[in-house]
Amino acid sequence: MAKLSLKGIRKQFGNTEVLRGIDLEIGDRELVVFVGPSGCGKSTLLRLIAGLDPTSGGTFTIDGREMTHVPPSKRGIAMVFQSYALYPHMSVRENMTFGVKLMGLPADEIEARINEAAAMLRLEPLLDRKPRELSGGQRQRVAIGRALVRKPDVFLLDEPLSNLDAALRSDVRLEIAKLHEEIGGTMIYVTHDQVEAMTLATRIVVMNGGAVEQVGTPRELFETPRNTFVATFIGSPRMTLVKATRSGDSFEIAGSGAVTLPGAPDSGAEVTLGLRPDALTVTPDGEGYAADFVYSEYLGNDAYVYARLGDGTLVSARVDPASDKQVTGGKIRVAPRADALHFFDPDSGLRL
Amino acid sequence: MTATPDTPAKGPRGWITGRGAWITFLLVPPLVVMTLFVIYPIVSALAYAFYDWNGLRREGFVGFENFRIILFEEPFASTTWQAFKHNIIVFASLMIVQNGVGFILAYCLWRDLWGARFHRVAVFLPVVLSTVIIGYLWKLFFHPIFGVVNQSLKAVGLDSLVQPWLGQSETALAALIFVNAWAWVGFPTLVFLAGLQRIPSELIDAARMETDSEWHLIRKIVWPLIAPSTTVVFILLFIGSFNWFELPYIMAGLDGSPFGSTDVLGLFFYRTAFGNQSAGVQDFGLGSALAVIMFLFIAIVATFWTLHLRKKELDL
Ligand SMILES: Nc1ncnc2c1ncn2[C@@H]1O[C@H](COP(=O)(O)OP(=O)(O)O)[C@@H](O)[C@H]1O
Ligand SMILES: [Mg+2]
């Protein structure tokens, strides 16, 4: 059981405000992913939760218990570090027993936990090795195993895949998802990679500049981003933002003409349109915004056409890979699907 | 080589000869200097130890007689063993006090406790002072009447502790050990600090997630990880302790006063080899024998100890 509750959490390093009032509720057994660009404060927030750094303000409770004066080892939290942080002078087994021995567990209980974790993570043949004799992926599994044997209520993982090569990354990602299912603890996972976030999370916390931009399921974030930051951060290829002038249901983009978009939300005359590749279809002529073909990208399952609108914005449109060859240059038209578009206020960046 | 015999040898072979000449040219001078000033004195000291000496005049070959006398015959034997015992005390105490305090200081500096930047300099300052100055300074500090040590004790009302620190057998050696630790504590501090700063901070964080006991952290994580820096600190302290000379010489004199309570092998060697005003005896053979014994003892122990510690480091 572990419910985490953060209220107005702030953190300052000297005069720099790194976290500017974080409010967050994390339920039992959730796999929450903190995602955001580098330097937005994800690791800082994780370290505050772990108790490795003191907060500068706000309250943090686990199951209603205030954590400010509880030392890291007494919070029921285990953490997997980006560098794995295995003790280099200890064998894999010793790395895993160090913490539980200090918890005062009986020897046979420790042994049972080691065996269980080793079996789950395929560590049995490695138990007597030193960390320097392990590959990156193996070290990663040991780091997870070390967290596992403590049977914590909360797992924290800080960019656990960033030191692995691309081939291993998706394997380990899958393993972590499976692990979360098996042990059923609360997990907080930090990454700057939105694909990782989308594939793993039950809920995503999008952070930017020391504040939370939006919290929601992957689907909610993708379909109803609260503002332009979330809209452009989530989804690949990125959403393109373009300014349009509205009169009635007709939206004009400078130099590209106007298109009628029925059912658009109420707004002023100026609107920011959010265009995902899926929301655009490419036609050589007919209805749509006029654009100049730039290049096309063939990815096997997918194909994208990149085109420049009249105001200079580069947009991408997903096209049928089989018919990819049809558009190869010159003037084209990109037609938006009204139901797949996003509308934002140009001043506040908020969703309309 | 397939070069025709009438062309002068250029090519690789000529180059190698030139290189060989260079290597010889560069190596010979230092080797000569080293032989002259290091190896020759050691070998000749070894040789001197096997002769009977009359003052500085060499007489007959006596085999191991000098060694036997210095180790087992009175009045030399008891002085030798007493001095050796003092060296051991010095080494053991400095191991605990100097290295112990050095580690604690390094740990505090590492954790950035109170004014780390100032203390980093302050701690290392005495190391660069000459031993002569330090010895002289502390001799003044320990002066029974005017010295700051006793003055301070009086000032804080601890009159009962006021005593002639350097003038009585019970405290003289301890006072010297204290001064040595004061002067040299910066060295282990610096080496330990360098070792501590090499530990990745995430490793310490990982340990803090598992224990809130500072003691466990130090004993199980920090100490093993700085083991490589302990080797050099331990070995150098060992060598320094058994070669201890300047500080007792300056602060307690050639006789290890009072009553030989600060006598160490270095002082005894000096007295036997070169004599002193009070005793007037001088025996170069005995002195050399003592020097050879000290050299062998230090070299052998230091070698095996280093090998042992290195093996433990490799285990890391
Ligand atoms: N110990 C520190 N002292 C000063 N600034 C820090 C410290 N730790 C982090 N910061 C700053 O806080 C910001 C957030 O850092 P971090 O939480 O590591 O970001 P990320 O989201 O990439 O994990 C960065 O701008 C970083 O420079
Ligand atoms: Mg980070």
CB contact under 8 A, A73 and B202: no
ipTM above 0.90, yes or no: no
In 3-state terms, what secondary structure has residue B204? helix
pLDDT at B15 over 80: no
Q: What is the pLDDT of residues A290-340, one digit of tens each?
A: 999 898 888 888 888 899 998 889 999 988 877 755 667 788 889 898 888
Which sequence spans correspond to the domains of chain B?
A: 12-48, 65-315
Query: Where does residue B262 rank: exposed (0-12), middle (13-18), buried (19+ CB within 10 A)?
Result: buried
Predicted confidence at residue B146, as pLDDT, reads 86
Q: How far apart are CA B180 and CA B47, in angstroms?
A: 34
What pLDDT is recorded for position B314?
61
**Closest ligand to the CA of A36:** 1
Average pLDDT estimate for B245-249: 91
Summarize pLDDT for B26-72 with one digit per residue, the tens.
889 989 998 888 888 888 888 888 888 876 778 888 888 888 888 98
Distance from CA of A72 to the nearest CA of B (A): 5
Predicted local distance difference test score (pLDDT) of residue B165: 86
Residue A123: what are its φ and ψ, rounded to 5°? Answer: -105, -5
A88 contact residues in B (CB cutoff 8 A): 203, 225, 316
- Name the residue among B168, B74, B186, B52 with its Cα closest to residue B119: B186
Assigned token pair, A127? 């138990």
- Residue-averaged pLDDT of chain A: 89
Is the Cβ–Cβ distance between B191 and B229 less than 8 Å? yes
Considering only CA atoms, which residue is closest to atom 1 of ligand 1?
A: A13
Chain CA centroid to CA A293, Å: 32
Which one is the CATH code of A240-344: 3.90.1310.10, 3.40.190.10, 3.40.50.720, 2.40.50.140?
2.40.50.140
Mean per-residue pLDDT, B136-163: 88
The CATH 3.40.50.300 domain(s) of chain A lie at 4-233
Residue B276 clears pLDDT 80, i.e. is over it: no
Residue-level pLDDT at B1? 40
Confidence at residue B218, expressed as pLDDT on a 0 to 100 scale = 92
The pLDDT assigned to B8 comes to 47
Ramachandran class of A263: left when φ > 0, alpha when ψ lies in -120 to 50, beta otherwise: left
Contact B202 A83 (CB under 8 A): yes
Confidence (pTM): 0.80
E-strand ranges in B8-106 read 51-54, 57-61
B228 touches chain A (CB under 8 A): no
Query: Which of the residues B210, B212, B220, B223 would you substitute to probe the A interface, choosing the one with the greatest number of A C-beta atoms within 10 Å?
Result: B210
- Residue intervals in chain A for CATH 2.40.50.140: 240-344
CA B187 – CA A62 distance, rounded (Å):
46
What pLDDT shows up at residue A339?
Answer: 82
Strand partners, A139: none
Instruction: Give the pLDDT score at B5.
Output: 46
Q: Bridge partners of A332?
A: A291
Determine, for residues A87 and B210 on separate chains, whether the beta-carbon distance falls below 8 Å.
no
Q: What's the CATH fold of domain B65-315?
A: MetI-like fold (1.10.3720)
Do the beta carbons of residue A350 and residue A230 sit within 8 Å?
A: no
- Give the residue, out of A11, A13, A34, with the most ligand 1 atoms within 8 A of its beta carbon, to mutate for a pocket test: A13
* pLDDT at residue B12 is higher than 60: no
Whether residues A102 and B216 touch (CB distance < 8 A) is answered with yes
pLDDT at B128: 83
Burial (Cβ within 10 Å: 0-12, 13-18, ≥19) of residue A94: middle
Give the binding-site residues of ligand 1, using a 6 Å CB cut-off: A 13, 16, 18, 36, 38-44
- B203 contacts chain A (CB < 8 A): yes
Rounded mean pLDDT, A261-266: 83
Domain A4-233 sits in CATH at 3.40.50.300
Rounded Cα distance, A317 and A335, in Å: 9
Report the nearest-CA residue for atom 17 of ligand 1: A41
Probe target for ligand 1 pocket from A18, A19, A212, with the most ligand atoms within 8 Å of CB = A18
pLDDT digits over A186-226, tens only?
A: 999 999 998 899 998 999 999 999 999 999 999 999 999 99
Q: How many angstroms separate the alpha carbon of residue A43 from the centre of ligand 2?
A: 4
Q: Which residues contact B82 (CB under 8 A, 6 or more apart)?
A: B260, B263
- The full DSSP string for A71-126 is -GGGTTEEEE-TT----TTS-HHHHHHHHHHHTT--HHHHHHHHHHHHHHTT-GGG
pLDDT at A32: 94
